Amino acid sequence: MTVELSLLGKETDYPTTYQPDILFPISRAQPREKYAHIDGIYKGKDWWHVFEISWLNVHGIPQVAIGRITLPASSPNLIESKSLKLYFNSMNFTQFESKDAFIATVEKDLSHVAQAPVTLTLFQADELDITKPSGTCIDDQVPERLSNHPDATLLRLDQTDTNQENVESIEVELYSHLLRSNCPVTGQPDWGTVFIRYQGKKPCYRNLLAYIISYRQHNGFHEQCVEQIFADIWQILQPEKLMVYATYTRRGGLDINPVRVSDESWMPSPIRLARQ
């Protein structure tokens, strides 16, 4: 199903009865065609934090929680965000015999749409801690050239040592708060922090920042942006190992946090930043 057929960007009424059929799948296949040969695109997860979760217990008393959805990067489909928001709101007036019954229902519905196992972890309303980013922030770098659309030619290795054959491999953890892109349907801006763990010949930090900034007018879903960043770095800089993890700010009661890795041992733990 194409996103043009979804409810994204359209005026809709919020359902008050449980409606699993409102969930809308979006195939990952077409956007991945140009880098489908890169194994790391299929390794990773999409973590969603859902801040508007409520249902009724057996006494009819509202229950509230924060949810973390885990969707495997290998799933054939991602789930369109507005449909997910409407789905959770459709459960606000539905009784469940227990929290576990609520979780089981959600996992069944989301797994059916994604065509892969999806899990839901619930947190109390004040339980999800704020984490400070770790690694080296590259936002103070001054690029020589900027672009307003993704430009992989901006990426290059550090030229301090011109004899790259003799340069030793390094491992670094970098991050930038300057990631911005647009929803491809509504045009609304999406803001995020991107984390890059990298092992290989040293990248040029100011060029890496210029590349991240180049997404500022790009239209793409969160997951697709992270996969393109991963693919470009992997193909241009040719690291030995790579992780790209973006923590996007909340919109519509949801934040989306895709991560892609070349090596499963580099899978990070999910975090929540202050901006989220």
Domains and CATH numbers, the chain: 3-123 (3.30.1130.10), 136-266 (3.30.1130.10)
Task: Identify the band that residue 1 occupies on the pLDDT scale cut at 50, 70 and 90.
Answer: low
Token pair listed for 121:
């972890």
Instruction: 18-23: list long-range contacts, CB under 8 Å, 24+ apart.
Output: 18/90, 18/91, 18/94, 19/86, 19/87, 19/90, 20/87, 20/109, 20/112, 22/83, 22/86, 22/87, 22/90, 23/79, 23/80, 23/83, 23/84, 23/87, 23/109, 23/110, 23/113
Catalytic residue among 46, 109, 183, 204: 183
Mean pLDDT of 60-67: 98
The predicted-structure confidence for 81-109, as pLDDT tens digits, reads as follows 999 999 999 999 999 999 999 999 999 99
**For this structure, is 190 an active site residue?**
yes
Overall average pLDDT of the 146-171 stretch: 84
pTM score above 0.85: yes
For residue 165, the model assigns a pLDDT of 61
Query: What share of the chain in percent tops pLDDT 90?
Result: 88
Catalytic residue, chosen from 21, 109, 158, 190, is 190
183 in catalytic set: yes
pLDDT tier at 250 (50, 70, 90 boundaries)? very high
Contacts of residue 168, defined as CB under 8 A and 6 or more positions apart, other chains included, come to: none
Local confidence band at 14 (pLDDT 50, 70, 90 cut-offs): confident
CA distance linking residue 210 with residue 154, whole number of Å: 7
Residue 57: band (very low, low, confident or very high) from pLDDT cuts 50, 70, 90: very high
Residue range 15-26: mean pLDDT, rounded: 95
Q: Find the range with the poorest average confidence among 41-50, 78-87, 157-166, 256-265.
A: 157-166
Residue 6 confidence (pLDDT) above 50: no
pLDDT value for 159: 84
Contact criterion met (CB below 8 Å) for 208 and 195: no
Tell me the two tokens of residue 156: 């290059």
Q: What is the pLDDT of residues 22-53, one digit of tens each?
A: 999 999 999 999 998 999 999 999 999 999 99
* Average of per-residue pLDDT across 131-159: 95
State the pLDDT at residue 92: 97
Residue 244 has pLDDT above 80, yes or no: yes
Give me the mean pLDDT over the 225-243 stretch. 98
Section 57-69 average pLDDT: 98
For the cut 60, the answer to whether the pLDDT of residue 217 exceeds it is yes
